[in-house]
Structure 1
């Protein structure tokens, strides 16, 4: 697959949508060719609504796209890939959340996620190149589960070390490694 122009970097946030000090938000502000899936006003826990929002954002972009997903945004991306056939140049899938394992208090329950279409996690190879960034101490997914997801999706795996959930609560605002990983997909 060849592309003739600079790809648009499309940010796919997780369930908490856009957080001002999150590395995805900062990355979007920094890159001239970046856009983001807008936050949902309704059906915020619906997997189908999130996938539709990603598809609508992609429909507004001409040319090549690199998806940059975090947390549940990774699951939105893999669910979208299962249902659509648009060419994607590549995807950076950072700190995927394991929605098949009960999450800590303060997050949606296992049953609420099931009722909203998040189960099962798609396990077929993605139809585009991808890199999964996995944390060794993520409270939302064990390294071993993320490693298996990456293998199932045919993704390269990058061991990020102990970075928690790679979000502001774990001490991450800017994440310079994201730019290097994205360059690897161009």
Structure 2
């Protein structure tokens, strides 16, 4: 891979039921030598447990951390920021699940409501206009609440294996943009 992702530790934060071996998060984990959050229970997620597992992964990092989250993992990052503040260098939030939607599975209810505040670190939201777990209006609202740039994917479903997103090489462009945002912000703060 020709991109420069150095200077950061990468943490993979999957969503409900984890990400299987063919999921793009699993491929990215190998490519980036990333750490996967070690949740105790992927099937019956509890917010406090998921936040503790993410915090343990962040605490074990040796460099500034970028979290790569999918689905319920995006809600986890929003709650993490609300609880712990600015412990991350940044986050890539892909296909955020709308945990507040009518008919959301009972298992997701511990993650509702979402914190309604800006994330205290650079983030990028990647959403699909055909995501069955978040209507476009709701995805746009989450990006606005988090004050994060929003990149739309057309007809990409939930950006998972079922929608054909296995290695998802095209997604690295969003990670490249996020890393550039973080580096630019750090440079600006050093010059200020």
Residue 108 (structure 2) aligns with: 113
Structure 1 position 89, deviation (Å): 1.6
CA contact (8 A) 1:43 1:49 kept: no
Residue 135 (structure 1) aligns with: 128
3-state SS in 2 of match to 1:184:
helix
Residue 12 (structure 1) aligns with: 13
Mapped to 2, the partners of 1:128 and 1:172 lie a distance apart of 27
Structure 1 position 41, deviation (Å): 4.2
CA contact (8 A) 2:16 2:43 kept: no
Aligned 1:77-156 pairs, distance under 5 A: 77-103=77-103, 108-109=105-106, 112-114=107-109, 117-156=110-149
Mapped to 2, the partners of 1:22 and 1:31 lie a distance apart of 14
* Structure 2 CA distance for partners of 1:44 and 1:60, relative to 1, 3 Å: farther
Please, which runs of 5 or more residues in structure 1 have no aligned partner? Answer: none
* Structure 2 CA distance for partners of 1:103 and 1:139, relative to 1, 3 Å: farther
CA contact (8 A) 2:128 2:156 kept: yes
Larger helix fraction of residues: 2
Structure 1 position 43, deviation (Å): 8.0
Query: Under a length normalisation based on structure 1, what TM-score does the superposition of the two structures give?
Result: 0.87
Moved over 2 A (4+): 41-44
Deviations 1:88-116 (A, max 9, x none): 22111000000101347xxx33xx533xx
Deviations 1:44-94 (A, max 9, x none): 321111111101111111221111000000001111110003432211100
Residue 49 (structure 1) aligns with: 49
3-state SS in 2 of match to 1:9:
strand
Aligned-residue CA RMSD (Å) = 1.7
Deviations 1:107-138 (A, max 9, x none): x33xx533xx2111111000001100010000
Give the count of matched residue pairs: 174
Structure 1 position 9, deviation (Å): 1.2
Please, which runs of 5 or more residues in structure 2 have no aligned partner? Answer: 1-5, 180-192
Residue 161 (structure 2) aligns with: 168
